[in-house]
């Protein structure tokens, strides 16, 4: 199994979303974190099974939340480059590497 690596910007996006949900409902924040964890495990188990959205960038949608995890697959690792709300414009984050 490939190593899973989150770029610091992706970690910050998770933390920001968690805080937003926590301010509204601690239960929603827990559910969001569970969805992120489950999706990251799914990515790590079968990273190439999820769709390409560009030449090298893949996307996994979070269940029950309007977020997607964007990542790249390398020989030794899967690198998460963003955890992005569905309404955020792709040009703002797609160039991450």
CB 73 within 8 A of CB 2: yes
pLDDT at res. 1? 86
Distance CA 47, CA 51 (A): 9
pTM: 0.90
pLDDT tens digits along 78-96? 999 999 998 775 555 555 5
Q: What pLDDT shows up at residue 92?
A: 53
| Residue ranges of domains in the chain | 3-92
Tens of pLDDT, residues 27-62: 999 999 999 999 999 999 999 999 999 999 999 999
The CATH code of domain 3-92 reads 3.30.2310.20
12 alpha-carbon distance from chain centroid: 11
């Amino acid at each position: 199994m490939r190593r899973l690596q989150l770029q610091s910007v992706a970690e910050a996006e998770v933390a920001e979303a968690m805080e937003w949900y926590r301010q509204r409902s601690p239960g929603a924040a827990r559910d969001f974190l569970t969805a992120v964890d489950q999706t990251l495990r799914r990515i790590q188990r079968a990273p190439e099974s999820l769709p390409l959205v560009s030449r090298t960038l893949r996307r996994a949608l979070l269940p029950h939340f309007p977020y997607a995890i964007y990542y790249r697959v390398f020989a030794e690792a899967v690198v998460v480059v963003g955890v992005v709300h569905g309404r955020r414009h792709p040009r703002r984050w797609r160039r991450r590497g």
